Homo-oligomer: A and B are copies of this chain.
Amino acid sequence: MKFSTRAEYGLKAMVNLAKDHPAQKSIKEISKSKEISVKYLERLINELRKSDLVKSQRGKNGGYMLAKKPSLMKVGEIIEVVEGPIVPMNCAGKKCAMLNKCSSQIVVWNKVGEQIKKTLYGIKLSDLI
């Protein structure tokens, strides 16, 4: 029950951009401490761009900037972009037929999922600066 490094890297990159908003920064600048592969981060940010959380400028002197103000961005939406939907258990498929019906346990996963979403969508990017 963990978030992956994608959530960590993605969020860190966004915080980094938020600190200098609305400045535009290149990948190299964003990952300047070199503790992470530039290429890997590049792809992550690209996904954030495709989901319209960041804007990009191609070509020389290009880079990235936030697509909206940090106060309008929720941690939850960032994480869902890089990690996929927040659902703590995929209750579909063959496995769910085992033992008895799993109707009782769905209650558990749903409650947990709701709480996680509530928490993550309750934190603004601007809260982390």
Contact = CB atoms under 8 A, between A and B. Distances in A.
Interface string A29-45: 01111011000000000
Q: Is the interface of A mostly helix, strand, loop or mixed?
A: helix
Interface residues of A, number: 51
B2 A33 contact: no
Most buried by B among A2, A31, A84: A2
Interface string A70-98: 00000100010001101111100011011
A39 to B, nearest CB: 15
B11 A108 contact: yes
A83 B88 CA distance: 13
A112 B118 CA distance: 9
Interface of A: 1-5, 7-9, 11-13, 15-16, 30-33, 35-36, 75, 79, 83-84, 86-90, 94-95, 97-100, 102, 104-105, 107-109, 111-112, 115-116, 118-120, 123, 127-129
